[in-house]
Amino acid sequence: MKSIAVVTGASSGVGREFVSQLCDHKGGPLDEIWIIARSKDTLEEIAASSPNVAVRPIPLDLMDDASFATLEQMLEDERPCVQWLVNSAGFGVFGSYGDVGKDANANMIRLNCLALVQMTSVCLPHMRPGSCIVNLASIAGVVPQPYLATYSASKAFVLELSRMLNHELRGAGIHVIAVCPKFMRTKFLDKPGDGDAATAMTRIGFERVDRVVRLALRLAVLGYPMSISSPTMQLAALAAKLLPRECIFFVEDLLFGRLGKKA
């Protein structure tokens, strides 16, 4: 039986780095990597230039239900073992809830939450003991972020779902890890919505994509349920666990220059 990885959001940023490190066997031996995003040309370029492992471009829009039927059929036809599922496709829009607007608020839930759930449902029947699911959450899912509210809530969903699935699937030998980075320099910030809000919030600093991915793969193999790679964000996560929400929001308003701001 062929052993594969399925990576969403593979055309850019974190997903693309996962493809690169999986090609370097950082996740163990693989026969093929199936890469998913909308940008067909970019996926084909990545497939053509990837060494060591065969990479199959699968251009799909994960906000379209028909995409999951397509993938389900491909898996049904070929019956591979899905050794890795990396759910990296996602986006975030900064700004007050009203300014972000109804379409962007709904689409963040469609891609960050619903598509991740649908990908998991489609791939799980093809997983075996030792398979791993890597879900891109965010530190915004651990430390709640007003002015990035729907995104932050979507990532809290990803984090909690990952923890519960990791527990549920233990008996099946399938491991689920939630990855919680702070900001990284990817296309994520290309269309931020409220640019001022984004600039203020990125004062917490940036992490390197390659390090986030390397640690995520290592911790996934070791069976950890969660990866927070930034030491300062580990402290922030502890504070978020101990302090009331209002206290967290006050510190964030102070840090990001929002004291007295009205939505």
Ligand X SMILES: NC(=O)c1ccc[n+]([C@@H]2O[C@H](COP(=O)([O-])OP(=O)(O)OC[C@H]3O[C@@H](n4cnc5c(N)ncnc54)[C@H](OP(=O)(O)O)[C@@H]3O)[C@@H](O)[C@H]2O)c1
Q: Which is nearer to ligand X, 80 or 151 (CB)?
A: 151
Burial class of 18 by CB neighbour count within 10 A (0 to 12, 13 to 18, 19+):
buried
Determine the residue type at 31. Answer: D
Q: Which is nearer to ligand X, 5 or 111 (CB)?
A: 111
Residue 204 engages ligand X in binding (rule: CB under 6 A): no
Looking up tokens 């070791």 gives 222
Work out which of 89, 132, 220, 226 binds ligand X, going by CB under 6 A: 89
Residue 88 engages ligand X in binding (rule: CB under 6 A): yes
Cβ neighbours for 156, distance < 8 A, ≥ 6 positions apart: 137, 141, 142, 144
Task: Count the site residues for ligand X by CB under 6 A.
Answer: 27
Among the residue ranges 23-31, 85-93, 192-200, 235-243, the one whose residues contact ligand X (CB under 6 A): 85-93
Q: Which is nearer to ligand X, 157 or 188 (CB)?
A: 188
Q: First-to-last CA distance in the chain?
A: 55
Q: Shortest gap between Cβ of 158 and ligand X (angstroms)? A: 8
Question: What is the rounded CA–CA span in Å between residue 86 and residue 84?
Answer: 6
Across 54-143, where does the E strand assignment appear? 54-59, 81-87, 132-136
Work out which of 5, 71, 111, 148 binds ligand X, going by CB under 6 A: 111
Question: What is the rounded CA–CA span in Å between residue 125 and residue 82?
Answer: 9
Binding track over 136-175 against ligand X, x by CB under 6 A: x-x-------------------------------------
Work out which of 5, 6, 7, 9 binds ligand X, going by CB under 6 A: 9
Question: What is the rounded CA–CA span in Å between residue 92 and residue 97?
Answer: 12
Cβ neighbours for 231, distance < 8 A, ≥ 6 positions apart: none
Work out which of 188, 216, 219, 228 binds ligand X, going by CB under 6 A: 188
Beta bridge partners of 8: 36
> In the window 25-84, what residues touch ligand X (CB under 6 A)?
37-39, 61-63
Residue 217 engages ligand X in binding (rule: CB under 6 A): no
Q: Shortest gap between Cβ of 15 and ligand X (angstroms)? A: 5
Question: What is the rounded CA–CA span in Å between residue 109 and residue 102?
Answer: 11
Among the residue ranges 69-77, 186-194, 235-243, 246-254, the one whose residues contact ligand X (CB under 6 A): 186-194
Q: Shortest gap between Cβ of 109 and ligand X (angstroms)? A: 12
Looking up tokens 């619903």 gives 114
Q: How many residues does the chain have?
A: 263
Residue 21 engages ligand X in binding (rule: CB under 6 A): no
Work out whether the CA dihedral 223, 176, 11, 97 comes out positive or negative.
negative
Which residues of the shown chain bind ligand X in the complex (CB under 6 A)?
A: 9-15, 37-39, 61-63, 88-92, 111, 136, 138, 181, 183-184, 186-188
